[in-house]
Amino acid sequence: MNKAKYGVFSNILYIIRNVWRVDRILLLAMIASVIATVVQPIIIIYMPKFIIQFFEEARPVADLMRLVVYFGVISLIIGSIKSFADGYLPRKIAYFRSMKLGSEMALASLNVHYKYLSSDNGQQEIRKARQAMSRGNIGIQDMANKLILCTANLIGAIVYIFILSALNPLVIIALISCGLLSYLAGNRVNKYRLKTKDDISKVERKRHYINDSTRDVKFAKDIRLYGMFEWLVSLGDKFISEENEWYKKITTKVFKNTIIDGLIAFFRDGFAYIYLINLVLTDQIAVSEFTLYIGSIAGFSLWISRLVNNTIILNADSLQVSDFRVFMDRADDNIKNRLPEKEIKTPISIELKDVNFSYNDHVIYKDFNLKIEAGKKIALVGINGAGKSTLVKLILNLIEADSGQILINGIDSREIDMLQYYDLFSVAFQDALILAYGIDVNVSMTSSDQTDQEKVDHVLKLSGLDEKVKSLKNGKYTSAERYLDSDGTELSGGERQKLILARALYKDAPVLILDEPSSALDPIAEAELYEKYHDMTKDKTAIYISHRLSSTKFCDEVLLLDEGQIIERGSHKDLMALDGKYAEMFNVQSHYYHKEVEVIS
């Protein structure tokens, strides 16, 4: 069972603090709503009491008229406050949730560490936090609503206790006990909800995956071409029924609870009537008082049962608010723990020292050591799955080594502030992000007016995308995707890669890492491109990764990676002379390339 990190009182304060922080008027409106909710029924129970009392005391009619006018005016004022609050609050609270906290959560998502966000735990936490944010009838928004109601219910109950205090104190004790009983019964359901929350969210995740995949254009081709319809639908149905099973169990518990609640109310009200009628018959209270008390007992029970029900829901909402806070804390911690800037001289040396790394049980690196001298260009080669991209992620601190160190100019990478750290690297990944904005913006990765357009032109030319850009009606301002702009273009695999390369060049950081961003180009073009890059990055440390060996000749050193170890290291010439695995692979590949060149020419 998963215990919520933040308790309900802490979460109540959190909601109040945040409402006050973003919208003070909203908090005042919430308070006004509480007051109106409490006062309205009090007027209703006192009105008949005073009127009957008026007859009992045989007072002049003018007094009665005055009384009615007073009640009328107060009712009108309170009623107006209440209906204004009822109309205003839901809209404002929804805005508070979706717009204010929603954008803060988006910012937090950008501020959490990549390692965290890409981990299973991080994904689960962000999903739960999103749930707390996503709808009006659960989580944050509902907690704010229930907070208003619970406060009103609680104050109402206390006021009614005062009204009823003239009666035998046992009456109040009995009424409160009934309330407590139904609270305990209801809380059992709530505990069950808490216990099953994680299981339900797991199934929900599976269902969402299937649902999303049916809509996502990325999946659409394969789904159609491989005729995956029936399979997907049956999977979806399976998860829906699994989820339903959970909800059925909860509903059964809720239903049983409703019966218990009904029984409690039945006995409570029955005894109250018998008790009060007896008081009237024995002349201990007047009829006017009877109407007041009978109204108060019914009202008090209503306050208590609403308080109970709303508190139970508030508790459930509070679990989600806790989830939300857990995620927001991650971002806060990350911001708070920012390190002071360090002086890092260029060119930069990179060293991996006794690094161990596994994906779950799959060992990728064991006692791995590698030093790349400052300003050197190395080629990292190896078959698919050798661990090249993993090495890049380790160097970039995007994943964490199980043990060992990554040193930048001899400084442990964990001692360098992450944002400063990211600034050190220009990286081109195969699966880099293409934004649904202009090509220029896709190169600079910042707003259009912050973009150095001359530099964009320069790097587009270097990466070889300039020809394509020239052919587009809006040139480099054409959107690189159609998603937001129907005039946008769709880039081919090779063109996307050129764009990604141009981006890495534009950033112009001290370390350049190209992780097979050119696999969609033909081998000769890739080799030429890498050579071009080599000339441009004279003063930089660079890592060129490829499973093609033709791209490596110009590098200072070639590193052949195999099963998590560097098995050969040296210049292209050295390794060819060594006549080992590199030479063997090179010969096989170059044979193939020669053929390809013949076919092309």
Ligand X SMILES: Nc1ncnc2c1ncn2[C@@H]1O[C@H](COP(=O)(O)OP(=O)(O)O)[C@@H](O)[C@H]1O
Q: Which ranges constitute the DSSP H helices of 216-286?
A: 217-225, 229-281
Contact with ligand X (CB under 6 A) among 389, 405, 474, 565: 389
CA dist 406 and 400 (Å) reads 10
Q: Of 200 and 398, which has the nearer Cβ to Mg ion?
A: 398
CB distance 523 to 543 below 8 Å: no
Q: What would the x/- binding string for Mg ion be over residues 389 to 428, using CB under 5 A?
A: x---------------------------------------
Amino acid at 568: E
Instruction: Dump strand ranges (E) for 373-458.
Output: 377-381, 403-408, 411-412, 425-428
Give the Cα separation of 37 and 84 in Å (integer).
12
Rounded to the nearest 10 degrees, what angle do helices 139-164 and 61-95 cross at?
Answer: 160
- State the number of CA atoms in the 13 A half-sphere of 415 facing the CB: 11
**CA nearest neighbour of 369 among 418, 422, 407:** 407
Cα–chain center distance at 259:
38
- Torsion sign (Cα): 177, 181, 186, 187: positive
- What φ, ψ does residue 440 adopt, rounded to 5°? -60, -45
Q: Which does 121 bind (CB under 5 to 8 A by kind): Mg ion, ligand X, none?
A: none
Give me the least distance between CB of 390 and Mg ion, in Å please: 8
If one asks whether residue 358 binds ligand X (CB under 6 A), the answer comes out as no
Distance CA 520, CA 430 (A): 9
- β-pairing verdict for 403-408 and 411-412: antiparallel
Q: Is 362 in the site for ligand X (CB under 6 A)?
A: yes
Question: Contact, 475 vs 482, CB < 8 A?
Answer: no
For residue 248, give the amino acid letter. Answer: K
Binding piece for ligand X, criterion CB under 6 A, among 241-249, 365-373, 385-393, 477-485: 385-393
CB closer to Mg ion, 196 vs 389: 389
386 binds ligand X (CB under 6 A): yes
Name which of 441 and 561 has its Cβ closer to ligand X. Answer: 561
Q: Is 388 in the site for ligand X (CB under 6 A)?
A: yes
Number of H helices, E strands in the chain: 20, 10
Q: Is the peptide bond before 340 cis (omega within 30 degrees of 0)?
A: no
Range in contact with Mg ion (rule: CB under 5 A) among 34-42, 114-122, 129-137, 384-392: 384-392
**Would you say 125 or 317 has its CB closer to ligand X?**
125
Q: CA 350, CA 411: separation in Å to the nearest integer?
A: 9
Check residue 430 for interaction with ligand X (CB under 6 A): no
Q: Does 385 bind ligand X (CB under 6 A)?
A: yes
With CB under 6 A as the rule, give the number of residues binding ligand X: 11
Of 390 and 451, nearer to ligand X (C-beta) is 390
Span of 96-104, 267-275, 387-395, 575-583 interacting with ligand X by CB under 6 A: 387-395
Nearest position to Mg ion, beta carbon: 389
The footprint of Mg ion on this chain (CB under 5 A) covers a number of residues equal to 2
- Pick the closer one to ligand X by CB: 328 or 381: 381
Question: Residue written as tokens 């029955």?
Answer: 270
The whole-angstrom separation of Cα 459 and Cα 507 is 10
Residue 157 interface partner, choices ligand X, Mg ion, none, CB cut-off 5-8 Å depending on type: none
Is 350 or 513 the residue whose CB approaches Mg ion more closely? 513
Interacting partner of 386 out of ligand X, Mg ion, none (Cβ under 5 to 8 A depending on kind): ligand X
Query: Can you tell me which of 305, 309, 310, 390 binds ligand X, judged by CB under 6 A?
Result: 390
| Number of neighbouring beta carbons within 10 Å of residue 422 | 16
Q: Which member of 121, 221, 227, 359 binds ligand X (CB under 6 A)? A: 359
Give the binding range for ligand X (CB under 6 A) out of 273-281, 384-392, 444-452, 548-556.
384-392
Residue from 392, 395, 387 nearest 365 by CA: 387
Site for ligand X in 12-31 (CB under 6 A): none
Near ligand X by CB under 6 A, which window of 10-18, 62-70, 388-396, 527-535? 388-396
Least gap, CB of 121 to Mg ion (angstroms): 25
In the complex, the smallest distance separating the C-beta of residue 547 from Mg ion, rounded to whole angstroms, is 8
Question: Which range touches ligand X (CB under 6 A), out of 10-18, 256-264, 379-387, 473-481?
Answer: 379-387
387 binds, among Mg ion, ligand X, none (CB under 5 to 8 A by kind): ligand X
Binding stretches for Mg ion (CB under 5 A): 388-389
Binding stretches for ligand X (CB under 6 A): 359, 362, 364, 382, 384-390
